[in-house]
Amino acid sequence: MYKAIKIIVKGKVQGVGFRPFIYALSKKYHFNGTVQNNLDGVIILAEGEEGQLEKMLDEIKRYPPKLAKINEVTIHQIPLAQYKEFTIIPSQENGRSIPWIPSDAAICENCLEEMKDPSNRRFQYPFINCTQCGPRYTIINRLPYDRSNTTMKVFTMCHDCQVEYENPTNRRHHAQPICCSVCGPTVTLYNQRGESLAENQSAIIQTVNLIKQGKIVAIKGIGGFHLACDAYQEKVVDQLRLKKKRPQKPLAIMAKSLEVVRKLCFISSYEEDILTSSEMPIVILQRKSEGILPSNISPGLSTIGVMLPYTPLHHLLFENKKLECIIMTSANPSGLPILYRDDHLEYLQNICDYILTHNRKINFPIDDSVVQYDGKNTIFVRRARGFFPVPRKTTSNVDQIIALGGNQKNTFSVGKKNSIVMSSHIGDLENEEMIDSFKKQLHHYQAFLGVKEVNVAVDKHPLYASTSIVKELDCNIISIQHHHAHHVSCMEDNGFNEPCLGIILDGTGYGEDGNIWGFEFLYGDAKSFERLAHLKYTPLPGGEKAVKEPWRNAVGMLLYYWPQEGKELCMKLFPERLKEINMMEQMIVHQMNTPMAGTCGRLFDAISAILGICSISTYEGEAAIKLSDYMNKTVLESTDEKYSFHIKTNTPNLLQLDLSPMIYQIIQDKLQQQSITAIIQKFHMTLVSCGIQVVSKLLRNRPELNRTVVLSGGSFQNVFLASEIQKGLEKEGFNVYTHRNVPCNDGGLSLGQIIIAAHQL
Amino acid sequence: MQRISLAHGEGGELTHQLIQEVFIQSFGHSEQTQFDSAILPIPSQTIAITTDSYVVKPIFFPGGNIGKLAITGTVNDLAVSGAIPHVITAGFMIEEGFPIKNLKEIVHSMAGEAEKSGVNIVAGDTKVVEKGSVDGLFINTTGIGVIQEEHRLKPEMVQEGDSVIVSGTIGDHGIAILSARQELGLLTDVKSDCASLNHLIHELLAEIKGIRIMRDPTRGGLATTLVELCEDFHFTVEIDEASVPVRKDVQGACDILGYDPLYLANEGKVVMIVDSNDKQKALDILKNHELGRNASVIGQITSSHAQSGKLLLKTAVGTTRRLNRLSGQILPRIC
Ligand SMILES: [Fe+3]
Ligand SMILES: [Mg+2]
Ligand SMILES: [Zn+2]
Ligand SMILES: [Zn+2]
């Protein structure tokens, strides 16, 4: 039977070659009609034989274009209009959903093949792309996504490109960044003085030679400049660290191929899939200890961040047999936003030897995404290139709400209709440069989505940058407790909205009692929460300084728990700091610059310092990261051994976790020269046990509570902690949720904030 | 009698004795004080007047004591307003049991500092309060200064490019006071910078026409003082961390305590905004003077319009940090 249907496909269906795909189906299954984009998605009017139409629908659902992500397909029968052919018609700027800003994607296999084919007109062209790959978000000025609204506007298509662009059967049909060596962008190599040395092919060859000679080259990519150098040369890695002012923080590498990755790291087939996905994130892998990689790439760690070439230019660099693996770290001095504009060249000259740049303007910078595989799921450490900006559907009324996120690993969220658009990872809002970058990106999103600053959610911390930003706005401010936001972030991430328990293990967050929280057992939902248990507070002598110097934390705990013996222990553990220990003692007694804190992050810091692993931290989380890395370094024998702790009923409704017996025993073990790995393993087992016992006790006191637990907060980046607590609680009959799509660290805060704001307005 | 008793405050014979032996001996007895108020001619159309209470703890500290501070603080408040300090009044609240020897020493150093700075102490008051009502001794001073028309400050003239100059190392007083508090143990032996700046400032005002505004960065430190200026007069200042003079031992003490020298009190420093054309001349005058040896240009005005009003710090690593007022809260933001 011949009939007509209207199909609406929603999800990530624009800028991914969906219309040419439908066009091709119309030839295959012999139907006529139209296809067009509107703000809801793709709308298809199809008239054909019923059986053929069904096959077409089946193919749409089962084999959509690689970059597409279909959320919803709705089909309505409509009256026949007797179309004579099938056509792609211009975009419509209406619809009820929110506009989808397409994400940047790694070069696809077809383009890669063409680029390597000497007979192809784009042979070795570093900007080859198609509807399935290439830059998107980073080049878009405004929506709808058309070439004239991108930074490709300045390049006028040559005749050949124009023909491909207009041909509905061509795989570059409406590929907005389409170009070739005749009409498109070019590459130039500069020296430090800003003198142009070479262009295009010869610039790329020279760059490879320079890298091999041990030079540092800034390379402009999709979202900004990277600093690149040969990853096999220890000396140049040290130089790069000096220039970037980043003494210890791990640097990511880009390996030529999966084979090279296999040579350098242990990698599961699941991890291989993530590594080669169209998002091409940095994947944290276990590196082989006997490998060729110098240890200064990720000092003190057994892991390394690895990615594969994701732009045509990257592939051309590796085409040359000489290069196998390069450091690829964002080109910015520590703490500053990623450099991405060509007028940043002057700045770049100070941190590299040469600059390989191109004239396709980056409109918005973006970092590489970082993910980790925990044995079951992909965990987001940093959500950026490739993974965003993907709107999330929500059942909460978030329309016209903006959530500004935390102070570190900042992301913000903007609510439009029933969707939330989360920004990419912006960074730490420690300085004006980052704050400006934050503001610019926020305004950009607001303009994209048409959301005004009416209702703005911020953290309660009085000293966060967002707290001052929000005061400058004329808006309704919704202040949200840090760990409540973590709690709800994890609920929303799992599409869960009943009141539930949350174990929030975190760094430092502003507590409602003015102390620093971060080891919290909460119960609640977006409307409200109760704090049911927490880690006992101990002093942080020196405030923020104590966060940067973990040994202070340890001293704060020891002097607080055991004023006499604790001091002797401090002097044994930190003999080089006698004078300072005396000072800390007085600071604690007189409460000078010494806030009180009960946090998991600071606990890890203290133990890390006690065990001599890290007493001064040069990057955020260093002490905890290096400590927990011991859990990966060797194959652990399974043990149930743990240290002792107390759960005290402080007030009838608030339990307090006292870990002082554990700390004491750890020090004894350390002083008796027990194996550090064994101590660390026991420490982890203790924390797992704490989590489970506190929750069990809470449920005994309050049997009416929902037996669902969410795990959130930055400390859950510790894979062991997350999976063991989850396992343990599940054994006790709890439903346990961990983060899936947003990071458990402060990068996920804005999601929780926007949901809470929606329920508190 | 070695200690102050409540009877010293009753207004009778003992009070008279105390005034004679302690105050008159140091301050003298000028003819202005023959009435219930001091009556004096003021050689100007415009006067500047300021008042301040001193409750510093400990009362004696390296480089000074509460008395010296009471004079320098008031003299400096007048001087940085562009006034020539003229007369001062002093009120004393003394805790019962306070050693008279200490009181004499304090009053003596007040007299010495007043003489040095060329001001007269023309009126005074003494109250004795029960033990525990005050901590040893509090002093309140009021100062009157005269303004010479040609020295009037012109903050409205501030413009982009103007220089910010500080007259010397910062944080000395703050750290000296902390070190003097026995409880901390010996932090450093740095002395308070407590000093009257009026002569130095007078010289600057006489020589340099392009001084827009001055402040003495006392409580809240250099940062808080500059934030207030930026907000009050709508300009943005960018200071360069590396050029802010800080003594090594002050920095060392700050590193231990987790303090920022930019927020520590100073009692003998002036921060000023000057026309950049006058910056070298101002620096020369300062460096020639004992109290300005370590003077330094620490930054400049980067914008001056209605939307300005920030204090920015260019850090050693090349980032720009916005500085706010000293916050009462000590809360780490690192998560
Ligand atoms: Fe957090
Ligand atoms: Mg004052
Ligand atoms: Zn492609
Ligand atoms: Zn072309």
Alpha carbon distances (Å) from B267 to A311, A337, B72, B218, B221? 60, 39, 7, 6, 10
A129 pLDDT band, cuts 50/70/90, is very high
Classify B63 in phi/psi space as left (phi over 0), alpha (psi -120 to 50) or beta.
Answer: left
- Provide the pLDDT for residue A93: 63
Residue spans of the domains in chain B: they are: 6-151, 155-323
- What is the overall mean pLDDT for chain B? 91
Q: Relative to the alpha carbon of A745, which ligand is closest?
A: 1
Q: Write out pLDDT tens, residues A661-705.
A: 999 999 999 999 999 999 999 999 999 999 999 999 999 999 999
Asked whether the bond before A247 is cis by omega within 30 degrees of 0, the reply is: no
CA B73/CA B268 separation, integer angstroms: 8
Confidence band of A102 (pLDDT split at 50, 70, 90): confident
Q: Which residues of A touch B321 (CB under 8 A)?
A: 430-432
Q: Is the pLDDT of residue A747 over 90?
A: yes
Torsion angle of C-alpha atoms B105, B107, B108, B111, degrees rounded to 10 = 160
Give B318 to chain A, closest Cα distance, Å: 8
Per CB-CB distance under 8 Å, the chain B contacts of A544 are 258, 332-334
Query: Where along chain A do the CATH 3.30.420.360 domains lie?
Result: 391-494+745-760
Q: Whole-angstrom Cα distance, residue A551 to residue A572?
A: 13
Between A174 and A572, the more confident residue is A572
Mark whether A37 is an active-site residue. Answer: yes
Chain A residues with CB under 8 Å of B318 CB are: 333, 336
Residue B248 makes CB contacts below 8 A (sequence gap 6+) with none
* Strand order from edge to edge, sheet including A41-49: A69-78, A2-12, A41-49, A32-38, A86-88
Amino acid letter, A743: P
Instruction: Report the range of poorest mean pLDDT among A110-124, B9-23, B159-173.
Output: B9-23
**Which residue of chain B is at minimal alpha-carbon distance from A600?**
B335
Alpha-carbon separation of residue A394 from A15, A661, A758 (angstroms): 23, 44, 11
Angle (CA) A502-A508-A512 rounded to 5° is 70
Q: What are phi and psi of A726, to 5 degrees?
A: -60, -50
Q: Please tell me if residue B46 touches chain A, with a CB cutoff of 8 Å.
A: no
The beta-carbon neighbor of B332 closest among A508, A592, A714 is: A508
User: Which residue in B241, B303, B335 has the most chain A C-beta atoms within 10 A of its own C-beta, making it the best mutation to test that interface?
Assistant: B335
Give the mean pLDDT of A256-275: 96
Q: Is the pLDDT of residue A647 over 90?
A: yes
The C-alpha atoms of residue B207 and residue B320 are separated, in whole angstroms, by: 34
The single-letter DSSP state of residue B269 is -
Scan residues 535-574 of A and list those with Cβ closer than 8 Å to B: 540-548
- Residue B186 touches chain A, beta carbons under 8 Å: no
Angle at A128 between CA A164 and CA A65, to 5 degrees: 70
What pLDDT was estimated at residue A604?
98
Task: Kindly state the percentage of chain A with pLDDT values over 90.
Answer: 79
DSSP string, B95-164: ETT-BHHHHHHHHHHHHHHHHHHT-EEEEEEEEEE-BTTBSSEEEEEEEEEEE-GGG---GGG--TT-EE
Ligand 3 centroid to Cα of residue A338, in Å, is 26
**Cβ A681 vs Cβ A643: under 8 Å:** no
In the beta sheet, which residues pair with residue A510?
A516
Sign of the dihedral through C-alpha A443, A448, A452, A453: negative
Residue recorded with tokens 């005061």: A471
B316 touches chain A (CB under 8 A): no
CB A304 within 8 A of CB A287: yes
A286-300, pLDDT tens digit by residue?
A: 999 777 899 999 999
- Tokens standing for A758? 């929606």
Question: Do residues A222 and A340 touch, judged by C-beta distance below 8 A?
Answer: no
b/e B275-312 (16+ beta carbons within 10 angstroms → b): bbebbebbbebbeebebbebbbbbbbbeebeeebbbbb
Task: Render pLDDT for B112-143 as a digit per residue (tens, 0 to 9).
Answer: 999 999 999 988 889 999 999 999 999 999 99
* Closest residue of chain A to B307, computed from CA coordinates: A472
Q: Which of A287, A324, A291 is nearest to A309 (CA)?
A: A324
CA A343 to CA A351: how far, in whole Å? 15
Class of the A2-88 domain?
alpha beta
Q: Phi/psi of residue A438, each to 5°?
A: -60, -50
Instruction: For chain A, say whether B183 makes contact (Cβ under 8 Å).
Output: yes
Instruction: List pLDDT tens digits, range B200-254.
Output: 999 999 999 999 999 999 999 999 999 999 999 999 999 999 999 999 999 999 9
**A99 pLDDT above the threshold of 70:** no
Q: Judge whether B16 is closer than 8 Å to chain A, CB to CB.
A: no
B201: amino acid identity, one letter: I
Q: In chain A, what's the furthest Cα-to-Cα distance?
A: 92
Residue A229's nearest CA partner among A241, A212, A246 is: A212
What pLDDT does residue B186 have?
63
Say how many CB pairs under 8 Å bridge A and B: 109
Closest CA to A176 of A152, A144, A143: A152
Determine the distance separating the centroid of ligand 1 and the alpha carbon of A549, expressed in angstroms: 19
Q: Using CB atoms and an 8 Å cut-off, which of residues 695-724 of chain A contact chain B?
A: 714
In chain A, residues with a C-beta closer than 8 Å to the C-beta of B324 are 468
B155-323 fold: Phosphoribosyl-aminoimidazole Synthetase; Chain A, domain 2 (3.90.650)
Q: Is A122 a catalytic residue?
A: no
Is pLDDT at A178 greater than 70 in this prediction?
Answer: yes
pLDDT digits (tens, 9 = 90+) for A588-634: 998 889 999 999 999 999 999 999 999 999 999 999 999 999 998 77
A460 in B contact zone (CB under 8 Å) = no
Of the partner residues B185, B258, B318, the one whose CB lies closest to the CB of residue A544: B258
Query: pLDDT-based confidence at B331, cuts 50/70/90?
Result: low
| Ligand 2 centroid, distance to B75 Cα (angstroms) | 9
Mean pLDDT of A306-311: 97
- Location of each CATH 3.30.420.40 domain in chain A: 532-707
- Taking CA–CA distances from B318, the nearest residue in chain A reads A333
Of B257, B320, B332, the CB nearest to A592: B257
Q: Which helix (H) or strand (E) holds A650?
A: strand A646-651
Distance CA B113, CA B92 (A): 17
Tokens of A78: 């409509």
| Cβ atoms B16, B112 nearer than 8 A | no
**Interface predicted TM-score (ipTM):** 0.88
In order of A25, A220, A740, the CA distances from A61 in angstroms are 12, 37, 24
215-244 in chain A: CB under 8 A from chain B: none
CATH 3.40.50.300 fits B6-151, yes or no: no
Within 8 A of B334 by CB-CB distance, chain A residues are 407-408, 507-508, 544, 547-548, 620
The highest-level CATH class for domain A391-494+745-760 is alpha beta
- Pick from B93, B85, B88: nearest CA to B27: B88
CA-CA distance, B262 to B247, in Å (whole number)? 12
Q: What CATH superfamily is the domain A532-707?
A: ATPase, nucleotide binding domain (3.30.420.40)
Mode of pairing for the β-strands spanning A303-307 and A282-287: antiparallel
- Asked if A431 and B335 come within 8 Å (Cβ–Cβ), the reply is no
Q: What is the mean pLDDT of residues A128-154?
A: 91
Report pLDDT for B329: 65
Query: Could you write out the DSSP letters of every residue in A523-581?
Result: EE-SS-EEEEEEEPPEE-TTTHHHHH-HHHHHHHHHHHH-TTHHHHHHHHH-GGGHHHH
Is A32:A62 a contact under the CB 8 Å cutoff? no
**What pLDDT is stored for residue A19 in this prediction?**
86
Q: Phi, psi (5° rounding) for residue A374?
A: -100, 10
Q: Please check the confidence at residue A513 and state whether its pLDDT lies above 70.
A: yes
Contact B256/A435, CB-based, under 8 Å? no
Q: What is the mean pLDDT of residues A146-175?
A: 93
**How high is the mean pLDDT of chain A?**
93
Could A593 and B258 be called an inter-chain contact, meaning their C-beta atoms sit closer than 8 Å? yes
The one-letter amino acid code at A576 reads: E
Q: Is A187-370 a domain of CATH 3.90.870.10?
A: yes
Which of A506, A540, A589 comes nearest B332 by C-beta?
A: A540
CA B170 to chain centre: 12
Per-position b or e across A532-543, b if 16+ CB within 10 A of its CB: bbbbbbbbbbbb
SS3 content of chain A, % helix, strand, coil (to 5): 35, 25, 40
Look at residue A636 in the predicted model and tell me its pLDDT. Answer: 74
What is the spatial distance between Cα A1 and Cα A178, in angstroms, rounded to a whole number? 41
Option in B185, B259, B324 nearest A586 (CB)? B185
Ranges assigned E (strand) in A331-418? 354-358, 370-373, 378-382, 392-393, 401-403, 413-416
Q: Does B57 touch chain A (CB under 8 A)?
A: no
Q: Which whole number is the average pLDDT over A7-32?
A: 88
- Sequence-ordered strand ranges (E) for chain B: 46-54, 60-61, 64-65, 83-95, 120-129, 137-147, 163-166, 211-215, 236-240, 271-274, 296-303, 311-314, 320-323
A509 contact residues in B (CB cutoff 8 A): 335
Token reading at B135? 């901590």
CB spacing of A245 vs B324 below 8 angstroms: no
Q: Between chains, do B322 and A432 touch, taking CB under 8 Å as contact?
A: yes
Closest among A580, A536, A544 to A560, alpha carbons compared: A536
